[in-house]
Structures are given as structure tokens and as C-alpha cells.
A and B are shown apart, each in its own frame.
Chain A
Amino acid sequence: MLFNSLAFVAFFPIVCLLYWLLPHRWRNLFLLIASYYFYMNWKPAYALLIGFSTIVTWVCGRHIADSAGKAKKVSLVVCLVLNFAILFIYKYLNFATGAVFSLLDLAGLRMAVPEFDILLPVGISFYTFQAVGYTIDVYRGTIRPERNFFTYALFVSFFPQLVAGPIERAANLLPQFHTRHKFNGENLIEGFKLMIWGYFMKLCIAGNVSVYVDAVFNNLPNHNGTSVIMAAFFFTFQIFCDFGGYSLIAIGVARCMGFNLMQNFNRPYFATSVKEFWRRWHISLSTWFMDYVYIPLGGSRCSRAKHLRNLLITFVVSGVWHGANWTFVVWGAYHGLLLCGHTIRVKFLHIKESTTGLMKAVNIVFTFVLAMAGWIFFRANTLSDAVQAFHHILYRRGPLFIGEGKSEMALPLVLIALLVLKELKDEMGWNIHLMHNKNVYVSAVSSALMIIVIAVCAQFESGAFIYFQF
């Protein structure tokens, strides 16, 4: 079920209402059923995969907590192998097979590449990482294993963040399922406002720019460098508004039911360096990789060479996490290299970053351009498409493709300006509040106007969220 579908518009109010009407002891079970219903709307059989992952991580978590030494380690390894094996089969098998056969081809052994007809389960990377994170935390002793299986199953499948995050930590979310939530009007209104802004980002901005982005990136031979730059600029906002919008809706939906999910984006395009960008972008995944990949590799507490190696490995793995395509691998490596460059500059050469005045603005723009260049790899359908896009940018100039007309180009630009203005207000801490005004009437009218903006500007046929495929 998509957040931007009419089915969800009917589903959520019913679930929210019943949740608050039910006695506390039934609420978790009800949310568990609702979450599985939410997921099974897409492909019922794939709920078995969530179930399997839930059982494996729960049983292993219990076993890890009850054992010590080698047995504890074996349980963790079994848990990781089983979970990542499923992820590998459903997400990477075709990609890996293709890569192996390409290598064989290079070695002179030409064979037909077998194609496995596997449909990628929506959100598999998200719930796998969340469940695996729980097991590692239990192994490390940072949390106690969850005793109640159904509560744990809800932690893995909680519908607001099931298919595209935020990837929650057990230490944050699990205790909330044990808390006796009392109905709180402020939470309901706050959640509603977050959902409104999330829908604005997804339907108005991501939806409207997607038309142009798809027209250019799906037909690169027909477009010149000017149009590719414009498409890359639009995609930079599309990916942020698509995923950031989803995260806000997820956080808002959870808030309406009294749950607090972690913040996933913090105005990433106001970052003054690539390092800061990754502190603001997809925070739940960045911190996951930091805690479970980068630090176990040695983090920064090792030799300079190993520090850089750790950064590069972490970002390449992060790229692979995003999808089974060389474009994501290169995107991850690109960011890894940028971060290595930043580390060398700041940590090894001790060149200080200016964080005030004009230089800050220059750094923001420079970081934005670097991120935008990276998104070309991310959006291109193939690696050769990405190369072609850069080739067009450098060597093939021409008039800007204006797609469906100037008005259709102007609308996304106006909506992006509105978003940037709001982000700037938050970044600068300006004390102007409309939707979050303390006066209930100002707040309500602002919310209503935002709903109207969504209704009249939204691209309702903008389809699924991009991050569903991961």
C-alpha cells in the first residue's frame, strides 16, 4: 500500500481510530495485524519473508542473550547469514550472476547468463537491516532481548516505517511498544502537520519534477547537456522530496498514534561539506552503517590509510545497499572518495573550513553541486547512461528542452523555491511559524492552505516512492 494511494487515505484513519479505541493490551496485536495487511496489499506471499526474518532474529536474539562465548557468536553468525542470504537471493542474485559471467567472459569463457525471475520484495533492505541491527545490539549487550514475540514482530513490521524507513533502532522503538500511550491531541495534530508537509514534498515537488527527469534520463540520446543539467538539478530535489517526504509521512503517521520515530533528514542541501551532508541525509541509514560497518572496521581510530579504506568500504557497501546496479556502486564509491578527500583536507592537512559568511554560502553551493553530480550516477539507468550524461554536459550544449511547456517547467521551480524558503527559515532559526503557530486558528488555516496547495499543484500520478525499490 502506498502512502500516496487512496487505499491508504482510507486505511490510516480507520487504523488510527481503532488503535485509540482499543484497550492497551490489544493495541500491539492490532498494529501487527494492520502492518501485515498494509504489506500484504502489495504481494501477500512476501509477508512470509518478513515473518521468516522476524522469527530468525527473535530466536537468535534470545539465544545470544542466554548463551556465552562461542555459542553466542555462532548464533549471531547464523542470524546474519540467514538474513543476508535472503537479501542476496532476492536483491542481488541476478546482479551477481551477471557480474560473474562478465568476468568469465573477460577470461574467454563465453556463456549465456542465466536470468532468475525474482521480484524484489518491497522494503526488504529496510526491515532486514532493522532486524539485524537488533540482533547485533543484543549481542553487544546494549539492549535486552525482547521477550514477547508479537511485540518484536511489530518492531520489525511496524507499518509506518516498514517499507522505506527510517531504519529504527530497537533501543528507541521497542520500549515505545511497551509504553501505555495516552491519547494526546497535540501529537495527533503534530503528526497530521508532518504528513501534510510530507505529502507536499512527495506529490507536489517530487511528482512534478519527475515528469521532466524521466523524460530526459529515460531518453538520454535525445537530449543535450543543458537539459541533462536541468534534469540533474530537478532529480536532486526529486530524490530528497520523494524520500524525505516519505520519511515525514512515516514519522507523522507514527506520531498520530503516539510513537516517536527518528529524524531521517535534516536539511541536507544546507550542508557545507560532504561529511556534513551525510550527517543530514538519510540519517537512520548513515548511523546504521557507522555503528555496524564503519566502527567495526576500525573507524577513524587506526592508521590514516586504514581510516580512508574504512570510509571507502563503508560507502561502497552503502551504494550496494541501494540497489543491484553498478550505478549505485559507483555512486557509493564517488561519495566515499569525496569523504576521503574531505578527511585528507581537514584531518590530515588541517585545513580549516570556514563556517561563516560568504565562504559558508560558497561551501553550501559547492557541496550541493557535488551531491548533484553524484545523483547523475544514482538516477542513470545504466553506467553507460551516466557516462553519456556527463559527456553531454561537457560536450553537447544546446537549447533547454522545456518538456510540456514553460508553465510546466515554472511550476516545479516555484514549488522548489517554496521548499528552499521553508528550509532556509528552519536553518536560520527565523521565528516565523504558520503551520506550527501557537494560535490554533492560524495553524489550522495554514494547514488548510497547504492541503489546497497540494490539491491544486500535486502530480497525483507520480507513482511509488523511489526508495521502495531498495
Chain B
Amino acid sequence: MKTILKYFLCVLVVVVGFDLLLGFVAKRYVTTHILPGDYQAIDYLINRSNEECLIIGSSLAINSLMPSLMEDSLGMTCYNGGANAQSMPYFETMLDCVFRRYTPKMVIFVLDPNELSRKGLGQRYNVLVPYYGCGHELIDRNLESKDAVEPWLLRSASYRYNRIWWRILLYHFIGYSNKSDKGFVPHERPMSLPMLKTIQNEDTVQACVDSFVRCMTICNDRGVKVVCVFPPGYYSPVNGAFQSVNVVEEECLKINAVCIDDSQDSTFLEHPEWFYDNKHFNIDGSVIYTKQFLQELKAHSQTQQ
């Protein structure tokens, strides 16, 4: 019995001790360093951005719109705040964090044609875990909403920094080369895939639609010009418009926002060399699409005037 007590007590002390130590070190690191990878964009949006035009979206945003090309045409500073594998709850959170510090003049949402069909917070919302308990109510609320046990688990540093410490450690020691140009990440890779033929028009999810409507409302209340854009992909066209596109168009109409739907632009289907996979542009495609987007935006603005 004595051995059991010794063993389990020792296990408990080491686990709790390490958890506290990890929590202390990691929190200090997060507040004194800019984390690498996706966190650069997250950290920039949450703490330091001051651009007049912000691009919000997933990897579609990162690889589609080039801020350096857009700045002259728009006549305002621009930053691409896209983050890999994110969805509406993340976009709403970023918007909330930015608006707590300042109000940009324009927000561009780069959306997937099935963007409003995503359920839940998205598989990578937990990248925001290092910012838990740092005064961002929406982040705290969303992370805790997972289930009843989650708020308790989030008290553990090992859980909070689960798998995130690895990126910090890896990039801290082997370095991280920031390849982004104002958030835009150019991809030189050539296309190696055939046209995707399995894309479907998915039903929208109400929670996701609500989140999008809240984003639009916040922007409208603050007088921010909103542009929603669906970039083209290298996939077979579907019959009619995507449900998500329809909903976004309706919401844009309500607040006089611009909606550009290029999701089924046939020109791009003839140029697989502009993509590096079925949904993402390589650098050539990004340049071509950014220019096309700017022209379309100009045309929309003239029509509205």
C-alpha cells in the first residue's frame, strides 16, 4: 500500500507541477513573442493591425487576394488576415478582436461557395486557445461552449497548449521564414490534379448563417464597407448557384454591401495552371484573380454610385 501511495502521489505531483510550469512559461512566451505560422496573422489581427482594408477568410483568402496589388487601386492600406482551415465563427471572432481596437474602412470576406454549410466552430478554431483567458470574451465563450467539461479542461495548461507547444518549440529552434506579403502567401507550386468533380451544393447551417449576419451587422453599425467575394476554383460547375452564395447575396443587399460571385467563373476552368490544387491559386492565378477582382469591385462601385 505504501508503494502505491508513493507511486501515485509522485505521479500527481510531477503532472500538476509540470502543468503549472508549462502554463507559466507558455503564457509568458505568448505575451512576449509573436508566435510563428498561422499565429503571425492571428497575433497581427488581434494585437497590431491598423490597415484600412482587412481581408478575412480561410486559406482561400490567403492564396487569392494580394494586398500589395490592391493598395494602389483601393487607395488604402490593406492586410490579408486569412487563416488556414477556418470558418465563420473564426471570422466573427477576428472581427470582434479588431473592432475592439479600431475600425477599418473596408472588410473583404473571402468565402468558399459552401461557406455557410460548416457545422460547429470548425476543426481548427482551437488555434485560438493560447488567447484563452486573455480578455477576449468571444474567444473564451466559443472555446468553453464545446461541452460542459471544456471550461474545466481549459484550466490545464497542458490541455490549453496541447500540440501548440510543438509548433512554438519547433519554430523557435529551427526558425520560421515568414513568406507572407502582408498576409498573402504566394505559392509557386504547379497544378498536379485533375478537375474536381465531386463538389456539391450543400445546405446552409443556421448557426453559421447567424454568425455571418452578426458580422454584417457589426460592420454596418460601424459604417464599414463590406465586400463578400467567392473566388473561382478548379472544379466542375454545379447546377444553379450555391445555397451559401444565395444567402450571402441576400444579406449583402440588405446593407448595400458588395457581393462578387466568381465561384463558377468558367474562364478559370480552362486554366488549371493558375491553381496549385482544386481550390487554391498559385502565384500566377493570384495575380490574375486579384486584378479581375479589383475590376469587378470598381464596376460594382460605379453601379452603386
Given A222-B196, A224-B192: A448 and B277 interface contact (C-beta under 8 Å)? no
| Interface pair B14/A449, CB less than 8 Å apart | yes
CA separation between A461 and B124, bound complex, in Å? 11
Q: Which residues of chain B have C-beta atoms less than 8 A from A458's C-beta?
A: 162-163
Contact A456 B14 (CB under 8 A): no
Q: Are B193 and A407 in contact (CB under 8 A)?
A: no
Q: Is the pair A440, B10 in contact by a Cβ cutoff of 8 Å?
A: yes
Question: Does A185 lie within 8 Å of B4, measured CB to CB?
Answer: yes
B193 touches A221 (CB 8 A): yes
Query: B73-81, B88-96, B164-172, B220-228: which one contacts chain A?
Result: B164-172
A448 touches B10 (CB 8 A): yes
Chain A contacts with B in 402-444, Cβ cutoff 8 A: 404-405, 407, 410-411, 440-441, 443-444
From B3, B158, B163, give the contact of A185 (CB < 8 A). B3
Q: Which residue of chain A has the shortest Cβ distance to B159 in the bound complex?
A: A455
- Give the B interface residue count (CB, 8 A): 42
A55-77: CB near B (< 8 Å → 1, else 0) gives: 00000000000000000000000
A451–B124 Cα distance when bound, in Å, is 24
Interface: B34 (CB within 8 A)? no
Most chain B beta-carbon neighbours within 10 Å: one of A186, A221, A452, A455: A455
Taking CB atoms, residues of chain B closer than 8 Å to A349 are none
User: In the assembly, what is the distance between CA of A445 and CA of B6, in Å?
Assistant: 11
Residues of chain A within 8 A of B159, CB atoms compared:
455
A445-B14, A448-B18 given as contacts; is B37 within 8 A of A405 (CB)?
A: yes
Q: Report yes or no: B198 in contact with A221, Cβ–Cβ below 8 A.
A: yes
List of B residues within 8 angstroms of A396 by Cβ: 192
Is A460 engaged at the interface, CB distance under 8 Å to the other chain? yes
- In the complex, the answer to whether A189 meets B192 with C-beta atoms within 8 Å is no
Q: Find out whether the CB atom of A452 lies under 8 angstroms from the CB atom of B18.
A: yes
Known: A221-B193, A440-B3, A441-B6. A456 touches B171 (CB 8 A): no
Q: Is the CB of B166 within 8 A of A448?
A: no
Contact across chains for A410 and B149 when beta carbons are under 8 A apart: no
A448-B163 contact, Cβ under 8 Å, with A222-B278, A399-B192, A455-B158: no
Contact A411 B166 (CB under 8 A): yes
Using CB atoms, name the residue of chain A closest to B276: A399
Would B158 and A448 count as touching, CB distance under 8 A?
no
- A456→B21 CA distance, assembly (Å): 13
Q: When chains A and B are docked, how far (Å) is the Cα of A170 from the Cα of B284?
A: 67
Contact B158–A222 (Cβ < 8 Å): no
Contact assessment for A452 and B1 in the assembled complex, using a CB-CB cutoff below 8 Å: no
In contact, B192 and A398 (Cβ under 8 angstroms)? yes
Q: Does B134 contact A (CB under 8 A)?
A: no
Known contacts A185-B4, A221-B193, A399-B192: A444-B162 contact under CB 8 Å: no
> Is A381 among interface residues, defined by CB-CB distance under 8 A?
no
Nearest residue, chain A, Cβ from B162: A456
- Of residues 244 to 290 in B, which have CB atoms within 8 Å of A's CB atoms? 277-278
Which A residues, 176 to 195, have Cβ-Cβ distances below 8 Å to chain B? 185-186, 188-189
Q: Is B69 part of the binding interface, using a Cβ–Cβ cutoff of 8 Å?
A: no
Nearest Cβ on chain B to A440's Cβ, whole angstroms: 5
Q: A185-B4, A405-B37, A407-B171 are in contact. Are A448 and B196 (CB under 8 A)?
A: no
A311 to B193, CA, bound (A): 41
Also in contact, A407 and B196, with CB within 8 A (given A441-B6, A458-B162): no
Chain B residues 165-210 with CB under 8 Å of chain A are 165-167, 170-171, 189, 192-194, 196-198
* The 8 A-B residue pairs with the shortest CB-CB distance in the complex, in nearest-first order: A448-B14, A444-B10, A455-B158, A398-B192, A185-B4, A407-B167, A448-B11, A444-B7
What are 12 A-B residue pairs whose CB atoms fall within 8 Å in the complex? A189-B7, A221-B194, A222-B277, A404-B85, A407-B167, A441-B10, A444-B8, A445-B10, A448-B10, A448-B18, A455-B158, A460-B162
Excluding A457-B162, A458-B163, 19 further A-B contacts by CB distance (< 8 Å) are A185-B3, A188-B4, A189-B7, A221-B193, A221-B194, A224-B193, A399-B189, A405-B37, A440-B3, A440-B10, A441-B10, A443-B7, A444-B10, A448-B13, A449-B18, A452-B19, A455-B19, A455-B156, A455-B158
Residues of B near any A CB (own CB < 8 A):
1, 3-4, 6-8, 10-15, 18-19, 22, 37-38, 84-85, 123-124, 149, 156, 158-159, 161-163, 165-167, 170-171, 189, 192-194, 196-198, 277-278
